[in-house]
């Protein structure tokens, strides 16, 4: 017998027929003797509709009332799933975030979980009852509903799994696992059997949309083994791997992975913009004058490249920001021109970040050289580079995205 958390996203609960399909997945685990807690998102499209209502009601609205509106989508789904399960003969009840309770900070609309009291859920699970929990929501210090930001149901599921000491958190989605890269770009992409927490964190933050970044962070901190699998698999006859386990990808501690590849996957992010400021005085403190105001404006800076001029008196500084923050970042720099002292500013939004990720890079030399040589052979120019122990990221022109991803995927032997 195992204690499981099963999380289902919006496409998995898009209508009553799909909710019935989800209920069959849940019933299968219950009949196998497992204790089950379920976390659900709002039906596909519902959250967008609710957000649209709040914006139409008033362009500037109270974040607390925004939460009261958008959190209702998950409340509907959890109630409907509980009803369907009961109709199938499964003892189930719905739980809202404030009933568990999931306690958050005061940041309405983008709250972070601070604690979960799992004792009551554990007691119900041990009695054989299925807990159907509304994802995406908790209760703030002001005792009002708080939502966790878009994609927050993944975070809810992992947090609940940690609180009830679950053996595993199963994330059911519209794909059957985590792939070496986007299968829509590379037809030869293959499903990964296991991925280390650190690798998944890099992949999620660099463009892979299978899991929300915060959920991976939480899973890594609390050691929650997380399994990504397809909700469209037949609930009564799920696909089985060669080792007898369900088809999917297990995200786990590095120690659970016996054979570690040098490179695990290739990710890419189109949400990138580049800003260059030219002929800045090369003197102590100039970097803080550039990046300090950006930090104060909550603008995240990623890649940074600094070039010193031949005379050693001036420098060019190039950096990237999310494309959504591009105009705001330019405005911040331009407003601080007197403090920074630059000659001119240039920018581009037709760029993409392509990343090579793998735990095996820690113990293998030459991985970066392979990347640069492979891209050069295809005539792809690199605008900026950033690295970590398990990641190499390059900024290139967006027109070369698919060519770069396919080239690197083949170069590191990931083609299936």
Binding residue positions for substrate: 47, 74
H or E element: which one contains 125?
A: helix 119-126
Distances (CA, A) of 183 to 169, 208, 316, 411: 24, 11, 38, 17
Which residues have a Cβ under 8 Å from the Cβ of 31 and sit 6 or more positions away? none
Would you state the torsion angle of the CA atoms of residues 192, 193, 198, 202, taken in this order, to the nearest 10 degrees? 20
Residue ranges at the known binding site for ATP: 7-10, 173-174, 179, 184, 209-210
| Torsional class of 117: left (φ above 0), alpha (ψ -120 to 50), beta (otherwise) | beta
DSSP one-letter code for 380: P
What order of strands is seen across the sheet that includes strand 384-388? Answer: 265-269, 351-357, 391-397, 384-388
Q: What is residue 179's DSSP assignment?
A: B
Q: Alpha helices, DSSP H only, in 138-210? A: 152-163, 197-205
Tell me the C-alpha distance between 60 and 57, whole Å: 9
Omega into 101 within 30° of 0, i.e. cis? yes
CA 171, distance to chain mean position in Å, is 12
Bind-site residues? 7-10, 47, 74, 173-174, 179, 184, 209-210
Other beta carbons within 10 angstroms of residue 99's beta carbon come to 15
């Amino acid at each position: 017998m195992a204690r499981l958390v099963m999380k289902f996203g919006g496409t998995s609960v898009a209508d009553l027929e799909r909710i019935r399909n989800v209920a069959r997945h849940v019933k299968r685990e219950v009949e196998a003797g497992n204790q089950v807690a379920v976390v659900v998102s709002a039906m596909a499209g519902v959250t967008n509709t609710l957000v649209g209502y709040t914006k139409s009601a008033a362009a500037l609205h109270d974040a607390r009332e925004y939460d009261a509106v958008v959190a209702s989508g998950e409340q509907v789904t959890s109630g409907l799933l509980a009803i369907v399960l009961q109709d199938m003969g499964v003892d189930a009840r719905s739980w809202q975030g404030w009933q568990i309770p999931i306690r958050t900070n005061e940041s309405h609309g983008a709250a972070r979980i601070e604690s979960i009291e799992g004792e009551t859920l554990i007691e119900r699970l041990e009695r054989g009852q299925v807990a159907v929990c509304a994802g995406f929501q908790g209760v703030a210090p002001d005792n009002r509903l708080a939502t966790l930001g878009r994609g927050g149901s993944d975070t809810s599921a992992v947090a609940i799994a940690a609180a009830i000491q679950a053996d595993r958190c199963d994330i059911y989605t519209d794909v059957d696992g985590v792939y070496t890269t986007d299968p829509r770009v590379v037809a030869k992409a293959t499903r990964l059997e296991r991925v280390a927490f650190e690798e998944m964190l890099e992949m999620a933050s660099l463009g892979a949309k299978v899991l929300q970044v915060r959920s991976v962070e939480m899973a890594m901190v609390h050691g929650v083994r997380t399994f990504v699998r397809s909700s469209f698999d037949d609930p009564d006859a799920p696909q089985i791997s060669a080792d007898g386990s369900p088809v999917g990808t297990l995200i786990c501690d590095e120690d659970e992975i016996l054979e570690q590849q040098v490179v695990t996957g290739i990710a890419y992010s189109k949400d990138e913009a580049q800003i260059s400021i030219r002929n800045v005085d090369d003197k102590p403190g100039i970097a803080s004058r550039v990046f300090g105001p950006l930090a104060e404006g909550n603008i995240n800076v990623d890649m940074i490249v600094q070039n010193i001029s031949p005379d050693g008196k001036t420098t060019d500084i190039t950096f990237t920001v999310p494309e959504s923050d591009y105009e705001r970042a330019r405005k911040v720099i331009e407003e601080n021109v007197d403090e920074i002292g630059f000659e001119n500013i240039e920018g581009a939004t037709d760029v993409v970040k392509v990343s090579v990720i793998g735990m095996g890079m820690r113990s293998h030399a030459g991985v970066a050289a392979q990347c640069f040589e492979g891209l050069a052979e295809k005539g792809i120019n690199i605008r900026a580079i950033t690295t970590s122990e398990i990641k190499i990221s390059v900024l290139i022109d967006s027109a070369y995205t698919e060519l770069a991803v396919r080239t690197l995927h083949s170069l590191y032997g990931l083609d299936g």
